[in-house]
Amino acid sequence: MAGILLFGGVASAQNRPLTEDDFYKIITIPSPEGLELEVGGLAILPEGNLAASTRRGDVWMIKNPYMLNNSMPSYKKIAEGLHEALGLNYLKNKLWVTQRGEVTILNDLNGDNITDEYQTFYKWPLSGNYHQYSYGPLEMPDGDMIFTLNLDWIGRGASLSKWRGWMLRMTPDGKMTPWATGLRSPAGFGLNKAGDIFYTENQGDWVGSGRITHLEKGDFAGNPSGLLWSGEEGSPVKLKVSDIPDTGEPLYDVAKRVPGIKPPAVWFPHTLMGISLSDIIESGNDGKFGPFDGQMFVGDQGHSKIMRMYLEKVNGVYQGACFPFREGFSSGILRMKWGIDGSMFVGMTSRGWSSTGKDKFGLQRLAWTGKTPFEIKTIKSMPDGFLLEFTQEVNKETALNPESYELNSFTYKYHHFYGSPIINSMKLKIKAIQVAEDGLSARLVMDSLRLGYIHEFKLEGVQNKANQPLLHNVGYYTLNQISTVAPKLDVVKYAVKEKVAAVDHSQHANMPKTDAKAANSAKRIVVMPAEWNGVVDQTIKIGTKPGLKFDIDKIQVKAGAKIRLQFNNNDDMLHNLLILKPGTVDKVGMAAFELGLEGATKNYVPDLEEVLFHSAILEPETSETIYFTAPSKPGNYTFVCTFPGHYTLMQGTIRVR
């Protein structure tokens, strides 16, 4: 701020575009040098203390984590020797920790605040697979506790020992009931005010994209591995592995045919809304965290950010929308807990997986500044479209202009493959708009509503009364049921004007759906140019490695040389390769991210002159060879992957000399 005042005075500070930081501050809670605080679990303790369990198996008590008046926190180890402690809670005046193979109560018998008795509350068998992570407890209103168990990973998800892939419910005296299955990597779960359970799932086999599913007793959420145990005593799930079709149809459609499959309440489109969902917590109703009372916040490990989710119940079924909220955390977010002041503690680790926040671990706190951001507060289902509520009064002219909006719907395949492409994407047309008298909401009537589909809202043109744009102008609503409570809108009265020969908004959706792989474009030559006469000066091979890395970070080429570059995607994720002018990687990386839904058809390559050459976006274990003439001007050029979330880590240098 000081710098801004110095150069431009107060006025320029007010005129600059507002950022997330103006509304929600990230405060780092420093930890002593040498402490590997790879947070697996967080618990709020009495007297303003915080406890963190770690992947290395320690539990730390953190005093003064709020650091008021710029004071320092202090750390004390209060337990150790736990096996990858990914769940921690303070219940019934005790710390409860979930290890890989058991739930343990930490007792302090002599009152020195250090655990001296580790009491086994409940245990389950383990296969010895690293992916057998276990999480919990979450306390239910009646005092029962909820736990979840990850699947094994053997090149695909598998349940190699009993109850992997399940959610378990336990009474305070240790009686266990299997609750639901179909889970793959259920690192986060939480309750809403009604006491209903929601869990977050990561993209993977049978999971086209990240999502949140409401789990009732006996539900099956989609990954069949856990069904191995559905015949066991106490199982409330009746489905068998063989009941699950592997057709690639949308999960919602399969669920209509196969009772017992539970479609998600909200899909989080992969890369647009994170890549690996983690914790989920619901905001209180006290207004301490800004204008989103009762909404849920969802962490993302790979993208080091927190998203926001609004849920509504329509015809007894949960559904709703997700929105961007706050990015820029220091490591991969795994845990979120409300502090006593209504701020949010965020515990992080990214070891073994990478995250856009580059630190290996971290602990931060997110606090509301008291300013209300201009945001889409909710999206609600209406019989003929949606109602969008805003946190601030809109400029009605912008909200009534159909060109302020861009709407699409799409879904994913349900199949045994890892992830899914976006399928059945369709541009939606607005037929009518009504803006509320108070300017706080807008009703949109559109030409198509599809059940089970994600409805994308992009509100680039909507402004508030101060003519400021939305802080985040996108939201993704998953439509499981169409609400018929409100009357339909009078589409004649509120019809939008059809602009003749106006900018054709549908152009990108109508783009010829050519196979991106086959195209030869000026920047992507996949066949050796004839004028080279079969002569290549230099062949370069670049591969990818797990953890968002290329297998080489420096390459040297001669200026003007004819280059054949073979790009091998050896990883289990999508990647591309772009060659950029020196020093332009941030601009290009961000522009690629901004492509949004269009990204996939454009290979995540923004149309910028800074991009010199590029490959297609490559599926795992595929490759592409491109041909180009090295720049004539010597310098350090960049090669980078611009798949959303990758560019900050996945870079290398091509030195032209």
Partner that binds at residue 116, options Cu ion, another protein, none, CB closer than 5 to 8 Å by kind: another protein
126 binding partner (options another protein, Cu ion, none; Cβ < 5 to 8 Å by kind): another protein
133/289 with CB nearer another protein: 133
Q: Interface with another protein includes 551 (CB under 8 A)? A: yes
Residue of 353, 417, 418, 494 that binds another protein (CB under 8 A)? 353
Q: Is 352 a residue that touches another protein (CB under 8 A)?
A: yes
Which residue, 118 or 417, has its beta carbon nearer to another protein?
A: 118
By CB under 5 A, name the one of 355, 643, 648, 652 that touches Cu ion: 643
Dist. CA 281–CA 309, nearest whole Å? 10
Coil vs helix vs strand at 479: coil
**Whose CB is nearest to Cu ion?**
641
**Residue 623 Cβ vs another protein, minimum distance, rounded to whole Å:** 5
Tokens representing residue 483 in the block: 């609400």
Could you tell me how many helices (H) and strands (E) the chain has, helices first?
4, 43
Q: What is the DSSP string of 317-350?
A: EEEEEEEEEE---SS-EEEEEE-TTS-EEEEEE-
CB of 426 to Cu ion, least distance (A): 27
Instruction: Note the maximum CA span of the chain.
Output: 84
Pick from 128, 141, 316, 512 the residue near another protein by CB under 8 A.
128
Count of residues making up the chain: 657
Of 485 and 532, nearer to another protein (C-beta) is 532
- Please give the order of strands across the beta sheet that includes 166-170: 134-139, 145-149, 166-170, 176-181
Please choose which of Cu ion, another protein, none residue 54 contacts, taking the beta carbon within 5 to 8 angstroms, the exact cut-off set by kind.
none
256 binds, among Cu ion, another protein, none (CB under 5 to 8 A by kind): none
How does strand 538-545 pair with strand 562-569? parallel
Q: Does 57 engage in binding with another protein (CB under 8 A)?
A: yes
> Least distance from C-beta 570 to another protein, angstroms?
3
| Count, residues near another protein per rule CB under 8 A | 41
Q: How many CA atoms lie within 13 A of 61 on its CB side?
A: 17
Q: Which is nearer to another protein, 100 or 365 (CB)?
A: 100
Rounded distance, CA 598 to CA 606, Å? 10
User: Does 447 contact another protein by CB under 8 A?
Assistant: no
Taking the complex as a whole, how short is the minimal distance between the CB of residue 113 and another protein, in angstroms?
A: 14
Residue list 203-242, contact with another protein (CB under 8 A)? none
CB atoms within 10 A of CB 448: 14
Q: Which of 30, 81, 529, 634 binds another protein (CB under 8 A)?
A: 81
Work out what residue 646 binds among another protein, Cu ion, none; the CB cut-off runs from 5 to 8 Å by kind: Cu ion
Residue from 255, 307, 334, 641 touching Cu ion (CB under 5 A): that is: 641
Question: How would you write 182-238 as a 3-class SS string?
Answer: CCCCCCEEEECCCCCEEEEECCEECECCEEEEEECCCCECCCHHHHHHCCCCCCCCC
CA distances from 223 to 129, 202, 261, 339, 562 (A): 18, 11, 10, 34, 48
Q: Identify the DSSP state of 588.
A: H
Q: How far apart are CA 306 and CA 297, in angstroms?
A: 7
Q: Which does 82 bind (CB under 5 to 8 A by kind): Cu ion, another protein, none?
A: another protein
Q: Which of residues 556-595 bind another protein (CB under 8 A)?
A: 566, 568, 570
**Shortest separation between residue 655's beta carbon and another protein, angstroms:** 20
Name the CA dihedral angle for 289, 291, 297, 301, rounded to a multiple of 10 degrees.
Answer: -80
Point out which residues pair with 540 in neighbouring strands: 565
Site string for another protein, 505-544 (x = CB under 8 A): ------------------------------------x-x-
Distance CA 283, CA 309 (A): 10
DSSP structure string for 59-102: EEEEE-TT-GGGPPPEEEEEE---SS--EEEEETTEEEEE-SSE
Place of tokens 């697996």: 40
Q: Which of 21, 22, 117, 293 binds another protein (CB under 8 A)?
A: 117
Q: Which does 353 bind (CB under 5 to 8 A by kind): another protein, Cu ion, none?
A: another protein
Q: Confirm or reject binding of residue 99 to another protein (CB under 8 A).
A: yes
Among another protein, Cu ion, none, the one that 192 touches (CB under a kind-dependent 5 to 8 A) is none
Among 164, 431, 575, 614, binds Cu ion (CB under 5 A): 575
For Cu ion, the binding residues (CB under 5 A) are: 575, 641, 643, 646, 650
Chain residues in the site for another protein (CB under 8 A): 36, 55-57, 80-84, 99-102, 107, 109, 115-120, 123, 125-128, 130, 351-353, 541, 543, 547, 551, 566, 568, 570, 621-623, 625
